[in-house]
Amino acid sequence: MTTVVSSIDPRSAKALEIVGAAATWQTGRTKDGRAFYSVPSQSAANAYHMVDASDCSCADRQRRGTVCKHMRAIAALEALSAPQRAVAAPPVEQAPGTRVCALKGCGQRVRPESIYSSCDECAYLYGGER
């Protein structure tokens, strides 16, 4: 799963604040072996959220079901920690049934099984049809 950290999104700005305190995070593993971080809450004293790249225990994630600021913080930390390497962008697949994103003319392809008219990234960044 790709998580976008954007300078125009309030959750991304908060995520970058959270990353600043990454040295205080605890790490652990779930019963099924997945790694997670215990990230301090910004709004509740002595509260922590269990977070990994695919889920978070915070109320925002549970209520909205979308990527929260804590998940964005994890993505940003992992991106900053990963060794940098040049990777060529793969060609856009022209699979039967794909269509071009309807928002902002980004040119990304919308998955054939999607019922929405925008790609995931534009829907997140611009509040497109989700």
Would you say residue 57 has pLDDT above 90? yes
Residue 130: predicted pLDDT: 42
Which H, E and C letters describe 23-60, residue by residue? HHCEEEECCCCCEEEEEECCCCCCCEEEECCCCECCHH
- Total-model pTM: 0.57
Domain spans in the chain, listed from the N-terminal domain onward:
10-81, 93-130
What b/e sequence results for 5-41 when a residue is b if at least 16 CB atoms lie within 10 Å of its CB, and e otherwise? Answer: beeebebbebbeebbeeeeebeeeeeeeeeebbebbe
Residue 7: phi and psi, rounded to 5, are -70, -15
pLDDT at 127: 56
Give per-residue pLDDT as tens, 37-55.
999 888 888 899 999 888 9
Lowest mean pLDDT among 24-28, 71-75, 78-82: 78-82
Instruction: Specify the pairing of strand 26-29 against strand 35-40.
Output: antiparallel
User: Hey, what's the torsion of the CAs at 124, 62, 59, 53, to 10 degrees?
Assistant: -60
Beta carbons within 8 Å of 44's beta carbon, 6+ residues apart:
none
Q: Locate 78 and state its tokens.
A: 């992992």
| 87-115 tens-digit pLDDT | 554 454 555 666 777 765 567 777 766 66
